[in-house]
Amino acid sequence: MGIQVLTSFLIYTVINAFTPGPGNILALNTMVSYGWKKGKPLFFGIFAGYFFVQTVCAILIFGLDNLIAPLTTILKYLGAVYILWLAYQIVISKPSNDYIKNQPSFWTGFILQIVNVKILLLGITALTGYIVPHYNSLGTLLFFVTIISITGTAATLAWIVFGKLFQKAYFKYFKVINIILGIVLVQCAIALFI
């Protein structure tokens, strides 16, 4: 694996983890609405769900790679299309002021991550586009999903810890931030084919 591919993998993972998504927005809104103490069960559910989804992605990709290797090429192209779509969605997105209305719980956070298409596609795209062309052992895939999961957990923690401050800054500069993130994601899509 070359440094360009590893760098693109890390950039793609960090951008996906730190951009607004269902888990990050829910964590931010829960922190603002309920604080750390009441929101803790939900936060732990989000973290556990993130690790669970990424582990499932690694196992599925491992199985697919060993059974149907040509499918990974198709997934790489689909991943590039998804990254470009994500870049577009980030550029046109606007912040939301909606807050969670129900009491936070572990299962709300966990189930949110299981149905969170953003992190599912993150795992599939990152593995099939950047990792599988170079490595195909289950242990290696699990190592890289651990990196993805730790990055995702760190991102959610950032949204929690910097709650109001991060929300205020993002609301103020969201256009510029979104355009920069979109451009970097386009570079990540191009890197899939370099």
Q: Give the residue extent of every domain in the chain.
A: 3-191
Q: Of all helices (H) and strands (E), which one includes residue 29?
A: helix 22-67
Provide the pLDDT for residue 136.
80
Nearest to 92 by CA among 178, 168, 29: 178
Distances (CA, A) of 70 to 15, 75, 124, 128, 138: 28, 9, 15, 11, 18
Q: Which two tokens stand for residue 73?
A: 């090429």
Provide the pLDDT for residue 102.
59
Q: pLDDT tens string for the chain (194 positions)?
A: 678 888 888 999 998 898 877 788 778 777 877 778 888 999 999 999 999 999 998 998 888 766 656 666 776 777 778 778 877 877 787 765 544 455 788 998 898 888 777 888 889 889 888 888 888 889 999 999 999 999 999 999 998 887 767 667 777 887 887 788 778 778 777 776 76
Taking the C-alpha atoms of 58, 116, 73 and 12 in order, what is their torsion angle to the nearest 10 degrees? -90
Nearest to 119 by CA among 33, 36, 42, 22: 22
Provide the pLDDT for residue 179.
85
CA pair distance 59, 49, nearest whole angstrom: 15
Provide the pLDDT for residue 50.
93
Q: Where are the beta strands (DSSP E) in 60-176?
A: none
| DSSP summary character for residue 130 | I
pTM (whole model) above 0.75: no
Provide the pLDDT for residue 99.
46
Provide the pLDDT for residue 120.
84
Nearest to 12 by CA among 145, 141, 173, 186: 186
